[in-house]
Amino acid sequence: MARAGSKQAGGKSAIENAALHFLEYYYPIHYKAGIGVEDALRGGMLNRHQVAMLWLIHSEGKDGREMDRKAIERSLETWFEISGAAITKALRAMAQPPLDLVRLVENPKSGREKIVVLTPKGEAHMKKMIAGGEAYVQRIIDHMSDEEIERGLHFFRRISEIVDGFREE
């Protein structure tokens, strides 16, 4: 589908080169801003995989408190190169002192499957984790106008919708 856009040198419009420009920004945004957000969420306590597990429980789990271990594994395998054994190890570390952030309980539908449930300490940690991430993002958006923030939120929302649609194809 052709789109209108101002012509640049060589007769191409800015829109025609948009994929390349997006690609050129992707890695700096992912590795500078994205890793900065991850580090803020980690709070010096957890590794990236553990933060991703807690975020999955928070954002996709039942009541933001519990999630099937297998569902966590399926999601993480699409994001990271991580084995089921590494996921089990990370969950066990979060279930034991000094962290005590989650409990692994037997799934009533299958004795072999586990459900990962946030402990009260885990719920408190999630609130602290989110506050740290929010503070980091606030430092970024403090340098933006209201219009830039609204457009940025729209852009991220649309990317999320589109990418979620890829999974359904």
In a domain, 157, yes or no: no
- Tell me, yes or no, if the pTM score tops 0.75: yes
pLDDT at site 8: 52
pLDDT at site 6: 47
Q: Which two tokens stand for residue 73?
A: 């594994």
In a domain, 158, yes or no: no
Which residue, 105, 98, 113, is CA-closest to 65? Answer: 105
What are the distances in angstroms from CA 107 to CA 54, 67, 69, 104?
A: 19, 10, 9, 9
Number of separate domains in the chain:
1
What are the distances in angstroms from CA 55 to CA 25, 46, 122?
A: 25, 12, 11
In a domain, 106, yes or no: yes
pLDDT at site 92: 96
In a domain, 63, yes or no: yes
Mean pLDDT by 10 residues, the chain (169 residues): 47 77 90 92 93 96 96 90 92 96 93 93 96 96 98 95 85
Characterize the bridge pairing of strands 66-68 and 110-118. Answer: antiparallel
pLDDT at site 109: 87
E strands present in the chain: 66-68, 102-107, 110-118
Q: Give the range of the structural domain holding residue 96, as residue numbers without chain letter.
A: 46-144
Q: If you search the block for the tokens 């101002």, which residue do you land on?
A: 6
Q: Which two tokens stand for residue 87?
A: 């996921």
In a domain, 37, yes or no: no
pLDDT at site 5: 47
| CATH number of domain containing 89 | 1.10.10.10
Q: If you search the block for the tokens 């990317």, which residue do you land on?
A: 159
Q: Which two tokens stand for residue 63?
A: 């009541």
pLDDT at site 9: 53
In a domain, 111, yes or no: yes
In a domain, 166, yes or no: no
Q: Which two tokens stand for residue 56?
A: 């999955």
In a domain, 152, yes or no: no
